[in-house]
Structure 1
Amino acid sequence: MKNKKSKNSKPAEKNTPQPQQKTFVFGKKNYVFMLIGLAVIALGFILMSGGASNDPNVFNEAVFSTRRIHIAPMVVILGFAIEVYAILLNPDS
């Protein structure tokens, strides 16, 4: 007997998996802003450092300097704001 194919039958398609392209979650622009934000945060923590005394019985007034109390925390908060901006930034625009 002859093998008759029906009109609706299609030739068997090969189920070869296509290699998926690996993509990053963010674009290059996002990563640049993230690195800038990390550098600003690190700068803020560097500005906060210091003011210690070698003798625990001697109090050093340098702990309360304007740089450590006001400027450094604002720099750190600015760094976190840059990080949030980097996450929300649309790299296509």
Structure 2
Amino acid sequence: MGKKHQKQTKQPQQQEFIFQKKNYTFMFIGVAFIALGFILMSGGGSDDPNVFNDAIYNFRRIRLAPTLVLIGLGIEIYAIMLNPHKKKD
């Protein structure tokens, strides 16, 4: 006796993006932190190349700006690793 063949219908798969709105929100925040860090790092030079300006070594350029860039990179890593499909128990 023959096996009963079930008719298999192929449904078109709906393509889903890897990242969702929550991921992109965190990515935008991370890019904003990185951009702010680079903006704070800029400047501090002297118009005359023979004159040294100590303003290049102030707190904003040496501590604050690189810290903001690193925080932004951390936020970017979090945004990439975030799984918006994970259900809360």
- The alignment's TM-score, normalised by the length of structure 2, stands at 0.81
Residue 90 (structure 1) aligns with: 83
Counterpart of 1:39, as a letter, is A
Query: SS state of the match for residue 43, structure 1?
Result: helix
Aligned residues: 86
Instruction: Give the gaps of 5 or more residues in structure 1.
Output: 1-5
Query: SS state of the match for residue 57, structure 1?
Result: coil
Partners of 2:34 and 2:19 in 1: CA distance: 20
- CA RMSD in angstroms comes to 2.1
Partners of 1:31 and 1:70 in 2: CA distance: 28
Identity of aligned residues (%): 58
1:21-58 deviations in Å (ceiling 9; x for gaps): 22211111111101110011001101101101111111
Within 5 A, what are the aligned runs for 1:1-93?
7-8=2-3, 18-92=11-85, 93=87
Select the structure of larger CA radius of gyration: 1
1:4-32 deviations in Å (ceiling 9; x for gaps): xx855759x69x86543222111111111
